[in-house]
Amino acid sequence: MKILSAEQGRAADQYTIKNEPIASIDLMERAVERVCEWFLEQFESSVKVSIFCGPGNNGGDGLALARLLHTAAWEVEVFLVQKEGSSDFNTNLQRLPKEIPLHEALEFNSDGFETDIIVDALFGSGLNRTLEGPYHNLILELNKALALKVAIDIPSGLFADDNSSNDLPRIFKADYTLSFQHPKLALLVLPGAELAGETVVLDIGLSQDFYEEQESPYFYLETEDLKLFYRDRSKHSYKGTYGHVFHLCGSEDKMGAALIAAEASLRAGAGLLTCSIPQSGFNAFNSRLPEAMLEDRTQFNNQNLSRYQAILIGPGLGLGGPSAALLKQCIQDYGGPLVIDADALRILADSKTWLSFMPEGSILTPHIGELKALLGRKELGLDYLEASADFARKYRVYLLVKNSISALISPSGKIYFSDFGHPSLAKGGSGDLLAGLIAGFRAMSYAPFPAMALACYVQGEAARMAAEAGHAHSVLSSDVLRFIGLAYSNLEP
């Protein structure tokens, strides 16, 4: 799914209104019907909903939602910034049933306020100025209120595209954001992603012809996209069909990282796996993962790397000189796809000249801390995605910037957002598992981007299933590995 700028989004509305054709008020009604459907599916009708409406079309959305929920027998109240606004706002205010209580929004005080859900329909994606005065005070009070918070289109105070000049405390902090047609860029990157909560994209039927004509470097991955990448196993195949992956992972005190990555590569579907590890880890591997073939790390110089379809280097490797020598040798001697993670990324950050010699199709998988080191920054800043895209273009590598919403960046500078993560993955071992999955997919001849995208999806789905089987707090990477097979089943036709 292509992500458009705020200006392109407004143009999409106008194009649809002109060419469908459909009246603006009817397009608003169609959009709010999708919002109402989401509420009816998500919550019990016994909840109380308090809707805060600004004077623009975002406020018109809120008024229309109040009417539709009232019609569905929900308890609804409306807080107005003012009683006159845009044409569609005015029309929906006139349509509002008289039974719905109206209050002054700018007089709102969170002390003693009781409701189940607060809906933010104050300011939409057209906002380009930091909220001040009474609007700032209203946002502060709403953020203090004890209720579940839902933003329509975008949290009020957040700019749709660039928030480098914005003031974060002046932005509504949502648990859910219901974004129309496509997610706004600000909902997917820091700091906006944390303020938006869970983003839900609602299809409101804007013109697909218009979307296809628009240029954008940003894209949003959906499950249907992953189904296009997925390839089932052939009846007439054998282990060699699915590639031989080689791991340079683990050290005497970090053998667990190597084990997690190794099992992930095999569960991804790789036919064969050879692990170069310290001999002290042989017993652990043989007892936990007998399917892996093992080689003593001290014999690495005798390796014929060309016989492998993919190499993973980094998880648990360590940061000393011997590890750096291993990474350098892989870059120099191996022409196939490298997957570089964890300690190997730290080594690479200190030896940036090596980046110019990376094999084509190599994938780097930094978390935010490792990305800082690669970019040579103490702090990332709000331009971290643009800086990451420049890095990918310069060194002709693929980047997977791991986060709650991960960014997959191609050497062309295109950025794809993967929102398949799960809170249970906020634990040691998750990065090792993801790197192992990617290496497994690469060994099976998946191109770099599909390998990254499928790995993010399969890991996220497996983590969700593991959490449902127990609890997000208690999920270990070992638990996630056991659900990889079930996660795959969601991709099958």
- Indicate left, alpha or beta for 162 from its phi (over 0: left) and psi (-120 to 50: alpha): beta
Strands 406-409, 398-401: pairing kind: antiparallel
Q: What sign for the dihedral angle of Cα 408, 128, 168, 112?
A: negative
CB-count burial class (<10 Å; 0-12, 13-18, 19+) for 10 = middle
Q: What is the pLDDT of residues 97-139, one digit of tens each?
A: 999 999 999 999 999 999 999 999 999 998 989 999 999 999 9
pLDDT in tens, 474-493: 999 999 999 999 999 989 87
φ/ψ of 32, rounded to 5, equals -70, -30
pLDDT score of 190: 82
Region for residue 388 given its phi and psi (left: phi exceeds 0; alpha: psi -120 to 50; beta: otherwise): alpha
Strand partners for 340: 313, 364
Residue type, 174: A
DSSP 268-292: HT-SEEEEEE-GGGHHHHHHH-TTS
Residue 367 pLDDT greater than 90, yes or no: yes
The tens digit of pLDDT for each residue in 252-307 reads 999 999 999 999 999 999 999 999 999 999 999 999 999 999 999 998 987 889 99
Residue type present at position 367: H
CA dist 118 and 140 (Å) reads 13
Least confident of 162-166, 171-175, 484-488: 162-166
Name the band, by pLDDT with cuts 50, 70 and 90, for residue 162.
Answer: confident
Amino acid at 205: G
Average pLDDT of span 335-360: 95
Q: Give percent of the chain above pLDDT 90.
A: 92
- Give mean pLDDT, residues 210-219: 95
Long-range contacts of 133-136 (CB under 8 A, 24+ apart): 134/106, 135/81, 135/106, 136/170
Considering the chain, tell me which residue range(s) the CATH 3.40.1190.20 domain(s) occupy: 226-489
Q: What is the mean pLDDT of the chain?
A: 95
- Residue 92, pLDDT > 90, answer yes
State residue 357's pLDDT score: 94
First-residue to last-residue Cα distance in the chain: 20
Give the pLDDT mean for 344-349: 96
CATH number of 226-489: 3.40.1190.20
What b/e string do you get for 288-317 counting C-beta neighbours within 10 Å, with b at 16 or more? bbeebebbebeebeebeeeebbbbbbbbbb
Asked whether the predicted pLDDT for residue 379 surpasses 90, the reply is no
pLDDT on residue 312: 98
The stretch 69-77 carries a mean pLDDT of 97
Which CATH code of 3.30.70.100, 3.40.50.300, 3.40.50.10260, 3.30.200.20 fits the domain covering 6-216?
3.40.50.10260
387, containing H or E segment? helix 384-395
Helix ranges (H only) for 396-447 are 430-443
Distance CA(277)–CA(462), nearest Å, equals 27
Share of the chain above pLDDT 70, in %: 100
What pLDDT is stored for residue 15 in this prediction? 96
Residue-level pLDDT at 383: 84
Mean pLDDT calculated for residue range 328-344: 94
CA 160 to chain centre: 17
- Give me the mean pLDDT over the 314-330 stretch: 94
pLDDT of 35 above 80: yes
Confidence (pLDDT) at 415:
97
Structure tokens that stand for 162 in this block:
């660039």
Give yes or no for a contact between 326 and 312, defined as CB atoms under 8 angstroms apart. Answer: no
pTM of the predicted model as reported, rounded to 2 decimal places: 0.94
Average pLDDT over residues 220-234: 94
Across 158-175, average pLDDT: 91
219: helix, strand or coil: strand
Q: At residue 382, does pLDDT exceed 90?
A: no
Please state which of the ranges 112-121, 157-166, 396-405 shows the lowest mean pLDDT.
Answer: 157-166
**SS3 track for 102-160:** EEEHHHCCCCCCCCCEEEEECCCCCCCCCCCHHHHHHHHHHHHCCCEEEEECCCCCCCC
Residues of the chain with CATH 3.40.50.10260: 6-216
How high is the pLDDT of residue 116?
98
